[in-house]
Homo-oligomer: A and B are copies of this chain.
Amino acid sequence: MTCQRQIILEELGKVTSHPTADEVYQMVRRRLPRISLGTVYRNLEVLSQHGLIQKLELGGTLRRFDGNVDSHYHIRCIHCGRVDDLPVVQPLDEIRGRVQSQSDYRILSCCLVFEGVCPDCSRHGGSSN
């Protein structure tokens, strides 16, 4: 656990915004101005493989990262790209168990992803990215 890795983890823990790799880079750079984007990518990868953060691949172009490793749902705004957490209305483990019994894959994980329009974009007619 290098200093860079530690700080990346800390910064991710501070926010609930599901930042992209580049956003993490910007956040971390305030504390480590000389860190490189490559290092950020490498450490995000290592951290997620150790289960300390979650790598989110929710569609849209960008990969995002989440300091909250508990299993939960996400929703992405198709207008602005913002990603939020959703209340869990049913444990995914339950669905996963039922699917597992019907599939000959060995299931390792599952995620439930919603797409929609966030409150801000609904209000403003949803301009921009």
* A interface, CB within 8 angstroms of B: 57-60, 73, 75, 77-78, 84, 86-87, 89-90, 95-96, 98-99, 102-119, 122
Contacts and interface: CB of A to CB of B under 8 A. Distances in A.
A113 B110 contact: yes
A50 to B, nearest CB: 16
Contacts of A95: 89-90, 112
Closest 5 CB pairs of A and B: A57-B59, A89-B98, A105-B116, A107-B116, A110-B114
9 contacts: A58-B59, A73-B99, A89-B95, A89-B98, A90-B95, A104-B119, A105-B119, A108-B117, A109-B114
Contact of A87 (B73, B99, B107, B111): B99
Contacts of A103: 75, 86-87, 114, 116
B105 A117 contact: yes
Nearest to A77: B105
A32 to B, nearest CB: 28
Contacts of A118: 105
A110 B115 contact: yes
B102 A89 contact: yes
